[in-house]
């Protein structure tokens, strides 16, 4: 619809205009478009303390509505910002607003289409953000984060689909006595480094 395109054009010109987002959300809801509720909830979440009960309820509802939006639309109307389900505490502690990386999203989507496997939600969310790999850098000279491109390539290897043994995601390389590559397992159990379990989980 031309009016929808008009709102999107206006948001391109004024990406920080919160009032315009709410007007757009009203218009979407009036036309029975579930993206209106999504947009309204994101605006509400942005104004709440991240650790409160109300914010948690909004995050749950936004998770339920994930399928009604596409990443490009969300990136445009939210000025690149994204509501987080898994890593909001990290960004609250850093006092940062998460920003979507369109390039990373494209890499993830291509990998998922090729492999037929969905990355775990927490992994997908983290690597869809700007600076994902850089934030994995810990205060030691022995750990080196793996780029998203390399991690996706190593996870799939030369297979059309990952073997069960490959259903983990490499996040960084240890060059100290720990040795090996730290992985996030796709089944939700403990992360590990090489053939050995780590005493503490890798933060991602």
Identify the pLDDT of residue 195. Answer: 42
Pairwise CA distance, residues 145 & 126, whole Å:
13
Same domain, 73 and 114: no
Q: What is the pLDDT of residue 171?
A: 86
Asked if the model's pLDDT at residue 31 lies above 80, the reply is: yes
Lowest average pLDDT, out of 62-71, 109-118, 183-192, goes to: 183-192
In a domain, residue 84? The reply is no
Q: Which H or E run includes 43?
A: helix 35-46
Query: Is residue 89 domain-resident?
Result: no
Total residues found in the chain within this entry: 204
When pLDDT is averaged across residues 26-45 and rounded to a whole number, the result is 92
| Helix axes of 35-46 and 18-30: crossing angle, nearest 10 degrees | 150
What is the DSSP pairing of strand 192-193 with strand 196-197? antiparallel
**Would you state the pLDDT for residue 165?**
47
Is 68 found in the same domain as 6? Answer: yes
Would you place residue 162 in the very low, low, confident or very high pLDDT band (cuts 50, 70, 90)? very low
Report the share of the chain in percent with pLDDT over 70: 82
Containing structural domain, residue 143: 102-197
Mean pLDDT of 171-180: 77
Torsion of CA 88, 89, 90, 93, to 10 degrees: 120
Residues 112 and 38 in one domain: no
Domain end (from 79, 94, 129): 79
Rounded to two decimals, the pTM is 0.69
In this structure, the answer to whether residues 168 and 122 fall within a common structural domain is yes
Q: How does strand 181-185 pair with strand 168-174?
A: antiparallel
Q: Into how many domains does the chain fold?
A: 2
How many angstroms separate the CA atoms of 133 and 145, rounded? 6
Out of 29, 45, 79, pick the residue that ends a domain: 79
Of 47, 79, 111, the one marking the end of a domain is 79
For residues 106 and 189, state if they share a domain: yes
Same domain flag for 117 and 49: no
């Amino acid at each position: 619809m031309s009016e929808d395109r008009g709102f999107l054009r206006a948001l391109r010109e004024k990406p920080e205009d919160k009032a315009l987002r709410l007007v757009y959300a009203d218009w979407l809801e009036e036309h029975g478009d579930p993206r209106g509720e999504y947009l309204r909830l994101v605006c509400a979440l942005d104004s709440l303390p991240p650790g409160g009960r109300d914010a948690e309820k909004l995050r749950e509802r936004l998770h339920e509505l994930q399928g009604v939006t596409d990443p490009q639309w969300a990136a445009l109307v939210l000025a690149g910002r994204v509501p987080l389900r898994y890593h909001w505490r990290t960004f609250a502690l850093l006092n940062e607003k998460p920003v979507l990386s369109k390039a990373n999203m494209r890499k993830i989507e291509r990998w998922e289409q090729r492999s037929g496997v969905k990355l775990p939600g927490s992994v997908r969310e983290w690597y869809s953000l700007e600076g994902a790999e850089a934030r994995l850098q810990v205060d030691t000279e022995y750990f080196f984060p793996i780029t998203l491109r390399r991690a996706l390539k190593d996870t799939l290897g030369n297979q059309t689909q990952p073997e069960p043994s490959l259903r983990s995601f490499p996040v960084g390389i240890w060059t100290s006595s720990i040795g090996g590559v730290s992985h996030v397992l796709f089944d939700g159990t403990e992360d590990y480094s090489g053939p050995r379990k780590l005493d503490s989980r890798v933060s991602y």
